[in-house]
Chains A and B, each alone.
Chain A
């Protein structure tokens, strides 16, 4: 077939481009419509539940019960107020903010320093310690859950934000160290050597030269850690029982969902969920390229 075609093609092509293009384009049109159909369908499936949640958060409970698909008659912002103050979602939100700010900072500091040493310095036992860290990527958190509960309690950190911050950071170290070690290795040695020749010490070299050069990698990992700490549920559930005023956002939402079952205040639940979703979606839309890169790199070890 191909051998038969070959001699005619180059001759015929320039002459009849316009005529040949039309059937191709029609076929393309059908395929494109089909692609867009499926793609749109999934986009709708993704967005609809979220959209429904936002819209419902402005309705009255009566409207939600009578017509789940309908639009709100008026914007009932009091639902949001009831969730923010009445259900303490505002307080839990700030609690989460404090803990996540602490845990991400700690993770980045410890992860970056350890990764830098692994990437740039030779010493005995380096491989062993490195694999000790990276091995943590393989284990399910479940196995550690029971003993962790007692380790944290015996350290006097049970039910404290400091405890959560340390635990979040410890469990984020495997990925952070793994990713950043690879990243520090890619940085040019020549710059480091030039700085050393100019009399720069080891510490100064790290903080003044290497850390700024590693910024893209640091940002990716920081976003990854921010999302995973912000979305953490299991660890606070186990380590932050009791004192409600210190709860994380996820715990507060769960409690709100449970109490909604009795109170029937659907609008308040939807408002609470919306409060939790909006900032994360805003951060995502603003930094989507970094978020997607960070999260996919996180899976592709």
Chain B
């Protein structure tokens, strides 16, 4: 039940945002201040998702772990190649490698 609430909730919200100007507002545009803050949202949200995954493990702040090193390497790969597959393979490969060497 909860799964379907999530599915439909996320679906309705996503569709309304996508349709906002194209269908719902019809010609009325959003205020420029709001559009300026929207341009910052992806950077802020994604960073709030990524950084704790690299620095916090099992609920504890752990500044220098294998996930941080693998994550930084993956960011460099993403920056150089702009390729999701290489980013995933590089980051996961390093984390597997560190694990095999006993660094968890």
Asked if chains A and B come from one complex, the reply is no
A-binding residues in B (CB < 8 A): none
Q: A residues engaging B (CB < 8 A)?
A: none
